[in-house]
Amino acid sequence: MSDEAAVAAGQAVIVFDGTCVLCNGWVDFLLRHDRRQRYRFAAMQGRAGRALLARHGLDPDDPASFLLLEQARAWTDTDAISRVLGGLGGAWMLARLIVLVPRSARDALYRWLARNRYRWFGTTACRVPDDSERARFLD
């Protein structure tokens, strides 16, 4: 399914930095905990990820934002993280309480982490999904 078809079909799509060790760990976490398989993934280094970032006004060559496309809307940074964790259900719904912290403060913290993630966590080759995960990735 193409990126446009996945979004049009109402599937939630997460665009992530495929070369970031922290970001790949986040995807691994979601693959383990997303029992309903509601999230699909696109590395921002791939064709679909780059196109989705550009379509939503984010620079594909400056991977500082996290993007969630859900219910015909685009969410970024801590709003996106809160929605993703809340979408897992159960106790993860408590993550939505982060909205009680002013967005300027939480997004500043997120951007600080994003700017330093390569130095603190390292980089790797772009994630290649195994056969059991392949359908969850756009390209």
Full-model pTM: 0.87
Strand-strand pairing, 12-16 and 39-43: parallel
- Token look-up 């790949």 returns 24
* Per-residue pLDDT tens digits for 99-137: 899 999 999 999 999 999 989 999 887 777 888 889 999
* Per-residue pLDDT tens digits for 61-87: 876 778 999 988 999 899 999 999 999
Cβ neighbours of residue 40 closer than 8 Å, sequence gap 6 or more: 6, 11, 12, 13, 14, 136, 137, 138
